[in-house]
Chain A
Amino acid sequence: MNALAAADSGSAPVEQIDLRREFNEVGIGEVLDQLDRELIGLKPVKTRIREIASLLLIERIRKRMGLTSEVPTLHMSFTGNPGTGKTTVALRIASILHKLGFVRRGQVVSVTRDELVGQYIGHTAPKTKEILKKAMGGVLFIDEAYYLHRPDNERDYGQEAIEILLQVMESQREDLVVILAGYGDRMDKFFASNPGFRSRIAHHIDFPDYADDELFAIADLMLGEMNYKFTPDARDAFVRYIALRKTQPLFSNARSIRNALDRIRLRQANRLVADLDRVLTADDIMSIEPSDVLASRVFGAIQNP
């Protein structure tokens, strides 16, 4: 019996596959759970990633069963407002793709226009190719991809970089996954003027803005990681802070929250140092008081408009 099973698992196409075992073997369940745990909100993004992961798992099984099909196109575009977690998700995607064996090494090379486009004639192609070579076997993450295309300057070298990218995206699909990221409206314009890009990207994923409670959950998670905690009053103050901050300009979701927390830590440290005669407990050092939150400029703007 065993011998028979062993013979089956050889190079000949297998007939049956235990899906659960395959799923566990690959270890993506863990990555997806981690994604659920550590990334708050982003429902549509998570659903899409689960779909892609399932497709890839099935594709892997099909390959082992000898059902040939083309390598699925995995290039993606992430659109969304600042601070909605595009880069973080790109890192996770790379590890999912690596676990499923669709990229060989699983590294993420994160670049912007500066690293792809040169400054004089003949500078761009080697630069872009160098980055592509570094990203081979992994994921190339191009942040703010719309800067590659400058419609107002027809002699801009960005176009050259775009052409090389497109060519490699098409011809070396099994070697490299390209993820473009940027703010929604500008990416739409970018795709409109570069239809080649749009059609070569299979997955367009839109990152929604966070709701207030999600932002608070993010803050809680970040503080937990830094070994701080809100006192109940400070918690209420921070909920108010989020609501106010959202109405102000230059709000960038989770990034604004992180910056706010950094400033709150600063104020807390200052408050503690101001009173040198005190004996501090670990709890004092960990706790964030409402005064630390309420001292923010955001609240001041309301009082003196």
Chain B
Amino acid sequence: MRVTQGCFSFLPDLTDEQISRQVQYCLGHGWAVNIEFTDDPHPRNNFWEMWGLPMFDLRDAAGVLMELNECRKVYGDRYIRLSAFDSSHGWESVRISFIVNRPKQEPGFRLERHEVNGRNIRYTTKSYAVDRPEGQRYGGS
């Protein structure tokens, strides 16, 4: 099941050319671009790991693409996303975030039913991927 989080996730995967155009848009607005990766695809997982520091003061998307390719070399079997942080007054938050790399196989989610208080049921979603330990979830090392 294809994970759809952030911008553009209902579109086909962005090509590097398209990614670099998006990044250039962010840089043009003076936003700092971050690279983050994770192998826990749950939509409530807010804590993706950062690849290096946020990239301030860049002028051209080639710098971000360079880092992204480095990150893909190491964590190419995981989800990688780019996010852009707007530090200007009144915003001070992430303005855009989109997935730029995903595992070949995305096993999807199952629905778990939890019986509570007699016949009541609570539902939760759980990713099949997280059944395996961190680092081995998508056939990686």
User: Chain A: residues with CB nearer than 8 A to chain B?
Assistant: 104-105, 107, 126, 129, 132-134, 136-138, 168, 172, 175-176
Q: Which 4 interchain pairs have the tightest Cβ spacing?
A: A137-B60, A133-B63, A136-B63, A175-B62
List residues of chain A with CB within 8 A of the CB of B55: 133
Measured in the bound complex, the distance between the Cα atoms of B106 and A153 in whole Å is 51
From 51 to 77 in chain B, residues with beta carbon under 8 angstroms from any chain A beta carbon are: 52, 55, 57-64, 66-67
> Which chain B residue lies CB-closest to A175?
B62
> Which chain B residue lies CB-closest to A171?
B66
List residues of chain B with CB within 8 A of the CB of A129: 66-67
List residues of chain B with CB within 8 A of the CB of A104: 60, 62
Measured in the bound complex, the distance between the Cα atoms of B63 and A138 in whole Å is 11
List residues of chain B with CB within 8 A of the CB of A107: 59
Q: B58 near A134 (CB under 8 angstroms)? A: yes
Size category of the B interface is 10 to 19
Measured in the bound complex, the distance between the Cα atoms of B63 and A105 in whole Å is 12
> Which chain A residue lies CB-closest to B55?
A133
Minimum CB–CB distance for B27 against chain A, Å: 9
Minimum CB–CB distance for A111 against chain B, Å: 13
List residues of chain A with CB within 8 A of the CB of B66: 129, 132-133, 136, 168, 172
Minimum CB–CB distance for A102 against chain B, Å: 13
> Which chain B residue lies CB-closest to A138?
B59
* Interface contacts beyond A107-B59, A133-B55, A136-B60: sample of 12 additional A-B pairs, CB < 8 Å, sorted by A: A129-B67, A132-B66, A133-B64, A133-B67, A134-B57, A134-B63, A136-B58, A136-B63, A136-B66, A137-B62, A137-B63, A176-B62
Q: A105 near B52 (CB under 8 angstroms)? A: no
Measured in the bound complex, the distance between the Cα atoms of B60 and A137 in whole Å is 5
Q: Which of B55, B57, B62, B64 counts the most chain A CB atoms within 10 A?
A: B62
Q: B59 near A134 (CB under 8 angstroms)? A: yes
What are some 6 contacts across the A-B interface (CB < 8 A)? Answer: A133-B55, A133-B63, A134-B58, A137-B59, A175-B62, A176-B62
